[in-house]
Structure formats: C-alpha cells, structure tokens
Structure 1
C-alpha cells in the first residue's frame, strides 16, 4: 500500500504544469497568482526565486508561496499586455505591463505595473527565477 501511494505521489508531480518556454512560464506565474494556486506557484518557482515588490522590498519564493497559500496576497483581477520575450539559450527575460487589482495584507492596490520576469530552464524544466514590479505613474 505504501509503494502504491509513493508511486501515485510521483505521478502527481509529473502531471504538474510544465511550461514549454519562457513566455509560457511567465504567463503561468501570473495565472497562478490570479487563481491563488500556491501549488502551481510552488512548482514554477526556482529554488533561488526572488520578487522585488512595488516598494523595492525583496521577497523569496518561500515567503511568496506562504503568503498566497494563507490568503495574505489576493489578486482580484489582472490583465497582462505588451509582453516581449528575449530568449538567451536557457534564459528568457519577459517584460510587459500588468493591470492588477488586489490586496496585500489587507492593503488594497489597483493600477498599472511594469513587470520583468526572468525564467530559466534547469533540469529540463522552465522556472521563474526573478520578478520585478514597478508602478507606472
């Protein structure tokens, strides 16, 4: 019975979302935030993931995962536009705008953000390594 459970757990991990390229990896990151899907988010984040927030604070992957899982970060709506991807082998830099509305620690925000995601292909899988958000004034 234990071996059957272990085999099922390994198979479930293999069925996790696997982006085909850096653009899809970046898009899935934003989709996971919008859907508050901490499991998909966890699967997409590189071990050394960091995000630079609106005010310039750095948050690591574990903190982001926990904040989404516990409902401290809630994205009510979000629309990506103007995405541009530059790929350098196993690294993709994606830039664009994100019109978003949500709450962080019960502090509401709404507006246009410029974003940059850095996605890397490691071990045959695309992961998000870094994200930076800048409010558009």
Structure 2
C-alpha cells in the first residue's frame, strides 16, 4: 500500500536514512514500499538532543533510520535508560512502554512514546 506525503516549501524529512528537503513549492510524494520515514516535526538533530530524555529519543531515532548499526544504537539506548531511571525512577512506566516497542522492533511507535517521556521530563524540571 502506498503512502502519500505532502511536503510544504522547505520542509525536510528522512526517507530510508536519506535527508530530503523540499524546494520552494509544495510537492506530493508517494512512497510505494516499506521504508523508515520521519517528517520534519519528528526529526531531532544532535544539537537539540540536549536533555536525557531527548538523548533517549535520538538513540531511538537512530535505530529507526539506521538499521545497519542496531547493536550500537541499542547499547546506547539501554545505557541512557539506566541513567535516566537512576535519576527519575518514577518514569519507569513510560520507559517500559518505550522499551517494549523497541524489543518488538516498533521503533516509530517507540519514538511516539518517547515524546511522552520528553513531556514528563519537562514537567519534572519545571516543578523544581
């Protein structure tokens, strides 16, 4: 089944590991096979991975778009999760959901769940 994506002027996305930036006009893309896709709003750059939860998100993003180095990305993920849980054990429920998706190979769903971890982290920091 095909996936139709409409890109705004200048919008970026990652398709199968390639960063694609749209030109000056809106365009439609039709993706005809299964491939990892991240829209601009879901892409986290290295410079914005500046908190523990965002670094976890970034490691999952790498798993999703770079399947050739999964072992290294998984090692990084588990290291970051241990550190996060040492500092915030109350996040275990969210981390469990993310980890379950990762263990099942559902990296996009893990990214979606990790946005909840980022929101949780922001709440905790705001209340300090």
Q: TM-score, normalised by structure 1?
A: 0.24
- More RCO (CA 8 Å, sep 6+): 1
Q: Which has the higher helix share?
A: 2
Q: Which has the higher strand share?
A: 1
Q: TM-score, normalised by structure 2?
A: 0.25
